[in-house]
Amino acid sequence: MTDRSTTRRARTRRTLVFAVFLVVLALLYTGYKAFGQAVDDTQRDWWVVGSFLPRSDDKNMPPVLDILAEFGQAPREGGTTIGRLTLDGALFTLREAAVGFAAGTIIGLAIAVVLLQSRRAERGVLPYVIASQTVPLIAIAPIVVVWGRTGLEFLPWEWKDWMSVSLIATYLTFFPVAVNGLRGLQSPSPEASELMQSYAAGRRQVLRRLQLPASLPYLFPALRIAATASVVGAIVGEISAGVRGGLGRLILDFAGKYITGPERLYVAIIGACITGLVAVGVVAAAERLLLARRGIVAQ
């Protein structure tokens, strides 16, 4: 009981610290803006703001309150508000990211399990896994989309463009899972392996009862990285695939209209941040649930 109340208190404190951090950030932003404005108002060439510090006029840095107000504005009279558009876009993107994350986790784990079987496989395949991440995402995205539109007719279901976006998210997700997963699977001590051997345990039993559970503390940091990577992958994928309905398209639209309404792009950026935080939050909750009772409480 006391355990639970202390963790609840810790959680409340974390939320509070985060809120204070946000307020401080807003104050710093506003403070710098006021400073830049004051420098500009002197009408003299101070060479500070505008030469080596960013300009702070309303185009470059819309006021915090304007950004907040923009959530409630509608681009067309009586239409959907920017906040609502962003929320819908975030949910759309989150779905793509979640599918990509799930597929990436499964593929990453499968690669780790295969590489675990032999040192030779590890040495032969791992360099390619690493090399796969050096290919720029922007180059892969159109290829994946074209494949999706033309090459996947043999599938029993209709391939939609958003699935291509998920696939792009998968491409970013599987990598940390495979690399950390392999390390985790290799983490049990030689004694633990000998013990399983002394029980005449088969390879699959060792994997299930020893290696997989032992890999979880290594896996979760990778899953957190994979969660943010899947959101980034989905947004970039949407932009290069031209998929409508998600944050990527919204960011592209708002960036195009930046001159007339810079606040909107800021709203979309905040939306993307929150989407990433939600993704990481879900992973962290799963981690707490699975690891909290090992005596090592996850942070």
Partner 1 sequence: MAQDLVLEIAGLEKTFNPGRANAVTAISELDLSVRPREFVSIIGPSGCGKSTLLRLVGGLIDPTAGDLSVNGRSAQEARLARDYGMVFQAAGLLDWRTAVRNVELPLELMGWSKFRRRARAKEMLELVDLDGFASHYPAELSGGMQQRVSIARALSFEPSLLLMDEPFGALDEMTREYMQTELLKIWRETATTVIFITHSIPEAVFLSTRVAVMSPRPARIAAEIPIDLPERAPQVRDTEEFFRSVSLVRRTLRSVEHE
Contact positions vs partner 1 (CB under 8 A): 189, 191-192, 194-201, 205, 209-210, 213-214, 216, 293-296
Instruction: Pick between residue 210 and residue 279 the one whose CB is nearest to partner 1.
Output: 210
Q: How far is the CB of 271 from partner 1 (least distance, A)?
A: 38
CB of 288: closest distance to partner 1 in angstroms? 14
Give the residue ranges of DSSP H helices in the chain.
Answer: 2-41, 64-70, 82-116, 119-132, 137-150, 161-185, 190-198, 203-206, 212-241, 247-256, 262-291
CB closer to partner 1, 12 vs 205? 205
The nearer residue to partner 1, 169 or 210, going by C-beta atoms, is: 210
Neighbouring-strand partners of residue 53: 49
Nearer to partner 1, 58 or 194 (CB): 194
**CB 194, min distance to partner 1, A:** 5
Closer Cβ to partner 1, 166 or 215, answer by number: 215
Query: Do residues 188 and 215 lie in contact, with contact meaning Cβ atoms separated by under 8 Å?
Result: no
Return the DSSP state at 244: S
Q: What does the H/E/C string look like for 84-147?
A: HHHHHHHHHHHHHHHHHHHHHHHHHHHHHHHHHCCHHHHHHHHHHHHHHCCCCHHHHHHHHHHH
CB of 188 to partner 1, least distance (A): 9
Report, in Å, the least distance between residue 175 CB and partner 1.
26
Looking at the Cβ atoms of 173 and 211, the one nearer to partner 1 is 211
Q: How far apart are the first and last CA of the chain?
A: 19
CB of 204 to partner 1, least distance (A): 11
Rounded Cα distance between 155 and 261, Å, is 44
- What is the nearest approach in angstroms of partner 1 to the Cβ of residue 189? 7
Both tokens of residue 260?
């007339």
Q: Which residues of 136-160 are buried (b: 16+ CB within 10 A; e: fewer)?
A: ebeebbeebbeebeeeeeeeeeebe
Q: Closest CB to partner 1 among 277 and 290?
A: 290
Tell me the closest approach of the beta carbon of residue 201 to partner 1, in angstroms.
Answer: 5
Token readout for 79 is: 């239409």
C-beta closer to partner 1: residue 1 or 200 = 200
- Find all residues with CB under 8 Å of 101, minimum gap 6, and list them: 169, 170, 173, 226, 227, 230, 279
Angle ∠(220,124,121) on CA atoms, nearest 5: 65
